[in-house]
Amino acid sequence: MPSTLSAPAPSAPAPAQLDVASELLALLRDTTTEPRPDVQLEALTLAVAADLPVLLWGEPGIGKTAALTQLAENLGLPLTTVIASVHEPSDFSGLPVIGDDPAVQGVPMAPPDWAVRLVRAGRGLLFLDELSTAPPAVQAALLRLVLERRIGSLRLPDGVRIVAAANPRASAADGWELSPPLANRFVHLQWVHDHDVVVRGLGGTWPRATLPQLDPARLADAVDLARRAVCGLLAGRPALVHRLPAGETRRGGAWPSPRSWEMTLRLIAFATAAGSSRDVLSLLVRGAVGDGPGLELLAGLDRMDLPDPEDLLADPEAAVLPERGDLRQAVLDSVVAAVRSRPEKSRWDAAWTLLVRAVESGAPDLVVVPATTLASLRRDAWDVPEAIEELAGVVALSRRADRAAARTAPGAKAGR
């Protein structure tokens, strides 16, 4: 008896299913970008614009490679990725090629194919990935490439930018610490994920990487500011000109040397000409010379931007005081110091007017010390200005709060 069961329908051929899979993959890769504030991305693009080698440090899977791919695409630069750890030293120093008469012509060092492609293109983004897994011999071969852009007898064109990525030694596969000479050639940026950026990016929209817009009218002033800031710090702190860290791990990061100070000077000039935020400048400066020297330099830059106390005393009604509390405190202290150096009734009155403005537009406790010092500068013939009456309550309240805190401190310690 013949079977009444129908035969199963033939399945679609495998190639057709792969075509559908390819279509799905294309839809997943179809993302867009949007202008969005991103401090670390802005720091990266500014360093790239300044033509300085950048090294991105971050844990595996944090998005370093994806960021570089998107950066190259948005800037219209061909991306060339080289995995440093899988190459031999000769791949970066050049392979010897024996010609017809080596005794006369010598033995030229032939560059690898990716370097030749970059020279032909005239521009591009060279991405040195997995730098912390490259053994010391390969790191030594990379020194000339990173600093002089030379591979064998070939020099990379000026339109090529160099960016590297590395994992911390603890999370790198067979990781090595970077050698101090190689580390000192990079601007080190710590690459961390931003929750909102990741969520929006997985939804199909990533931040757009754009080169900084440099203001042609600010170029000369930007260079002058950068030189004054760096030279002013090093003139007063000569020990910071060159300070090789003692620990092996810190030697593989950012530390101060004449080379890294030169990079810092360039970064300050570019950040100033681009009007970059202090957060961006902080990442770049600390990434070039390290946290300690970088923070000292940033503090010096803040002081350079403070208004002249003589200008404030000349027109206290029109004075604009800094918003940041530490900078406002520094301005008020400088005003009192200016009055102390040349005590005159008109200057003393102007200083009281400035203190009143500070109380009205900021934290009142910042005026307590300057007001107390300014009051001690009064001469017998000087009338007490009305401004002192307005500030008396603030000073008294602050002192009562200090005394209350002093009384409660012993009890708090006893209760521990």
pTM of the model as a whole: 0.76
Could you tell me if 73 and 314 are in contact, meaning their C-beta atoms sit under 8 angstroms apart?
no
Give the architecture (CATH level 2) of 35-95+110-207.
3-Layer(aba) Sandwich (3.40)
* Sequence letter at residue 18: L
pLDDT of residue 402: 45
pLDDT of residue 194: 83
CA distance 406 to 416: 16
pLDDT (tens digit per residue) in 348-380: 989 988 888 888 777 777 888 888 888 888 888
Residue 363 phi, psi (nearest 5): -70, 120
Could you tell me if 352 and 391 are in contact, meaning their C-beta atoms sit under 8 angstroms apart?
yes
Instruction: Provide the token pair at 198.
Output: 């990741």
CA distance 283 to 47: 11
CA distance 22 to 190: 35
Could you tell me if 314 and 323 are in contact, meaning their C-beta atoms sit under 8 angstroms apart?
no
pLDDT of residue 397: 46
Within 13 Å and on the Cβ side, how many CA atoms surround 177?
A: 12
Give the residue extent of every domain in the chain: 35-95+110-207, 216-304, 309-410
CA distance 108 to 94: 8
CA distances from 277 to 230, 250, 270, 281, 325 (A): 18, 27, 12, 6, 18
Mean pLDDT of residues grouped by 10 in the chain (416 residues)?
A: 57 73 90 85 94 92 82 88 86 72 66 89 92 88 89 88 86 75 95 85 84 92 94 91 89 95 97 94 96 92 84 87 83 90 91 86 79 86 74 55 50 50
Could you tell me if 77 and 126 are in contact, meaning their C-beta atoms sit under 8 angstroms apart?
no
pLDDT of residue 398: 46
Long-range pairs of 227-231 with CB within 8 A, sequence gap ≥ 24: 227/265, 228/304, 229/268, 229/297, 229/300, 229/301, 229/304, 230/261, 230/264, 230/265, 230/268, 230/297
Could you tell me if 229 and 304 are in contact, meaning their C-beta atoms sit under 8 angstroms apart?
yes
CA distance 324 to 326: 6
